[in-house]
Structure 1
């Protein structure tokens, strides 16, 4: 089943500029209204929920044929990261089709998936079909920032809309990863936790020409350097273990869990699927101090993007406190939980079966995402999240580089593939 809408839907959504600069000024409402309209055309009642001016979400429930089965959530965010038109080959909000590709900000992350979601349920309505499980659709705001106006708002203010839901699917999984002539499809079964840190050093202000052993900038610089260079120890979670074993089997590479780093090194390009999730991490990203070269400031601040593997939060906090030292304080700028999902669960098996039905001979493997998605927020309602936005991609298209990158684009036939896979998954 391929829906003739999917390209039109995706292009239309890309043309609606929903840039989220991260400062609270996003504007998803026009896209939310478009989604609600397209659902209404198919006779699907949708609830449009505005959490703040211009920050809107859409939720709809499609009743399944088997009330004894728990509902499933399918969610996608409507906001996108900024794009500078001068850097692109095409205008990032043009929705242009060129060389068999749909170009534009959100093509991959994640208006393409939003369009696939719409295309599947609109096809059901046209053809008089219903899924076995209730399917709850959620199109969210603010995922590209803190999710305050999107999934966080939904789970805290409108949890009733997700009553009974036990599992959910969303972005960053089910895409083709080519390596050594083989096709892998990594499906997300975990996420590292978010741990964005704000560091503050306070010292004695003074003239830059005088001796000052209480220099806030120097103290902060030392703390930042220690965090950046610390070698976090290996923490092999069940999801990552399953990922390593699955990738090794698919590639015919021997797996030695007593020497994980050596094993991963043998994966070639596929090592990118596990490299970033073997450990916690702390990457400095922002620095701020002073206002004049000959004035020693009283305070200095830095921001660090920390990420935490499942069940390692206590260790992370203890190590950070030790590394920053007594002269620098730290606090969370933003923190979210790490996630783990069972790669042996029936839902995962159904995702794998749906992919392999469309691409026989491929290999489906679980993986843990280095970053985070709205699945973190929905987990507060007891919803187990998987990364499953299926796309069949050619070998020369670098999927990971397209996320937040210049010239974001997706093959048109990849969207059509995704519609078929989603339909098969949701109707089995």
Structure 2
């Protein structure tokens, strides 16, 4: 497979170990004895030179955005044509439709009061391209808009529904909010609500992988809003200094809940921060599934083969509200959203590419949309009928042996439930 992907690399040098003439040449400095003294030798800035000009640095040239397809699905450089099979491409495309169908049904279910919370991925479906580029054993740390990654890995629609309903078949045993998925089988760490906590966790897991020599990597997803948290900076610096095989994937979708990115940070997006930490960095068109795929594949090679972290900033647009707790019309116009949906839709781009390959026709979309929604509704109806997890499960999975204080609490709850079964609606819960 031929991909023209170039990652922005932070210059690294050890002044004591490398030839001073080569360093000087790289910095554009002559090798005369007078010029050599202009090289800054302080250990905290190995690639700087002295200057007599009083000048503050406020910006650098903007990092380019890597793209494979234009908005009409045309591959811009034949060398970047994705070398994937028809089956692989159609699997990705069907998952994009399945994700849309699931989002539509569960969003409406929350509005009807049938589940408590939900977050959709409308406008960010190309994220599935990153999942296609990973190894199934790579460990994923998600934020909360990575359902497409799980779907691609084989998480079933039934499992999605059971988690959102917190029923007896929920892998999380009913202990999490909806969309806080997790599965050991698919190497997907359970999502937690606090913002950005997964970033240093991913760096730590990747460091363990390096020590074990497992030749796998950790992949950490987050939004540009999370990049304003302290955990972002701690995690990236840890990964850079320790040489951790981790891919940091930032979904820059324009809005951190109700705060547009132009009000949240200055500078050249999130990608410039990766370079500041000495991390190989690339910015990609996050609505171009093949650009996402190629960048992630190249990033994984760097992480696994060289034990180096990589930062991917995927530029996209959140078409949906941030969550069911948000009304985005309060901070952006409906026309803006509609224009974006028409101008640059990841699903439409992928369909156009498939049509040019002769692997899809417009008429096929109606059938795939219909079948996806039917599958989602079947799983939805089944999940809604299942009981809640057993009350006794709340005492499990924290301690190997239950301490006396929790033994007493469990006995008290069991007594109360037995005494007031109607009040506690015991028939709604599964028997252990």
The TM-score range, normalised by the shorter chain, is: under 0.3
More strand by share: 1
More helix by share: 2
Q: TM-score, normalised by structure 1?
A: 0.25
Q: TM-score, normalised by structure 2?
A: 0.25
